[in-house]
A = this chain, B = another copy of it.
Amino acid sequence: MYRILELLRQSEDYLSGEDIGKRLEVSRAAVWKGIKKLREEGYAIEAVTHRGYRLVHPEAMYNQAEIANGMPTKIMGQHVHFYTSIDTTNNRARELAHEGAPEGTLVVAETQTAGRGRRGRVWESAEGSGIWMSLVLRPEIMPAQASVLTLLCGLAVAEALEEETGLLPQIKWPNDVLINGKKVVGILTEMDCEMTQVHFVIPGIGINVNTKEFPPELADIATSLYLESGKSFSRSRLVHAVMAKIEKHYMEFLHTKSFAVLLVAYRKRCMTLGKEVEVRGTKTFLAQALDVTEGGELLVRNLSNDKEEIVYSGEVSIRGVKV
């Protein structure tokens, strides 16, 4: 069946059932069965008498074959595990990592039944509308260096979305991606390590792609690429773009073992900088966000005592932004 798919994909014109049968050395009945199965899987295959079959918009499909096909990377996404439904892609990626899955292993799900945001918050991950995926990274770094990987992923996703959609995604420190002040991407990064050695890091990335409408309680704070642009996007193609950007930035990071090379691009996109923010941790205070450090922390000036402080945790809200 997937051999028929490949032939149709490569052909710019219609292909007759006889042609396909000859090339694959199978009967016309077998070709017809294969076409039927592909249609059942959701592929749009046009059939015209005396001309044959033609594949229409395969990029609209979202499955193992379409995600793996044309992945423009050497490592990231080179092993794809696709599930129509799963508890969370992070859980599955962690299991695969414990079983020895190589770096770049990508878990993608059409829907998650127990999607999580940071700190155990629920993350909506409905069918058909978004990208819910997790990646296995195995960097040879200390655990303390791993937190910049989550900023790196935020930057990579924002850049990929800009290239693919023309929209202008910004980053709310540390790694939420917002468009016009509403959240379009959430990232939950988990890690398994010894005290002086990382075993693996799992960035889990959720992107609201073709969501047409959010429930009232989310409508003010969440958005999708569709809602911002009025267009639908191929999720498979977006996955390719995101994997390419993550691979590029990850290699830069590993090469220098430092986030410094990426900081210029990150700072430009980081809408938190220069704003008045509320920091909520062991104490809550208002501050001016000054800079992001090479360690990925946020440098702020505490407005109550005018002193500079380093913020490690992500509980920082920007004045005037509801997310």
Q: Is the CB of B195 within 8 A of A150?
A: yes
Q: Is the CB of A193 within 8 A of B196?
A: no
Q: Which residue of B lies closest to A201 (CB)?
A: B195
**Copies, count:** 2
With contacts A190-B194, A191-B192, A312-B196 taken as known, whether A143 is within 8 angstroms of B143 at the C-beta atoms is yes
CB < 8 Å neighbour of A312 from B144, B150, B190, B312:
B144
| Cβ–Cβ < 8 Å partners of A312 in chain B | 142, 144, 196
Interface residues of A in 167-202 (CB under 8 A from B): 174, 188-197, 199
Interface residues of A in 279-323 (CB under 8 A from B): 312-315
Q: Is the CB of A174 within 8 A of B150?
A: no
State whether the Cβ of A119 lies closer than 8 Å to any Cβ in chain B: yes
Q: Which residue of B lies closest to A116 (CB)?
A: B194
Q: Is the CB of B194 within 8 A of A193?
A: no
State whether the Cβ of A147 lies closer than 8 Å to any Cβ in chain B: yes
| Cβ–Cβ < 8 Å partners of A313 in chain B | 142, 196
| Cβ–Cβ < 8 Å partners of A118 in chain B | 194, 196-197
State whether the Cβ of A107 lies closer than 8 Å to any Cβ in chain B: no
Please, what's the 1-or-0 string for A30-56, where 1 marks a CB less than 8 Å from any CB in chain B?
000000000000000000000000000
State whether the Cβ of A135 lies closer than 8 Å to any Cβ in chain B: no
Q: Which residue of B lies closest to A203 (CB)?
A: B195
Q: Is the CB of B197 within 8 A of A119?
A: yes
State whether the Cβ of A238 lies closer than 8 Å to any Cβ in chain B: no
A98 to chain B, nearest CB (A): 8
Question: Within the assembled complex, what's the spacing in Å between the Cα atoms of A192 and B197?
Answer: 12
Question: Within the assembled complex, what's the spacing in Å between the Cα atoms of A315 and B142?
Answer: 13
A31 to chain B, nearest CB (A): 47
Most B CB within 10 A of own CB, among A118, A191, A196, A313 = A196
16 additional A-B residue pairs with CB within 8 Å, beyond A147-B196, A174-B195, A191-B193: A118-B196, A118-B197, A142-B313, A143-B144, A143-B191, A144-B144, A147-B195, A150-B195, A190-B192, A190-B193, A190-B199, A191-B191, A191-B194, A192-B192, A193-B193, A195-B314
8 A-B pairs in the complex with CB atoms less than 8 angstroms apart: A143-B147, A144-B144, A174-B195, A191-B191, A191-B194, A196-B312, A196-B314, A196-B315
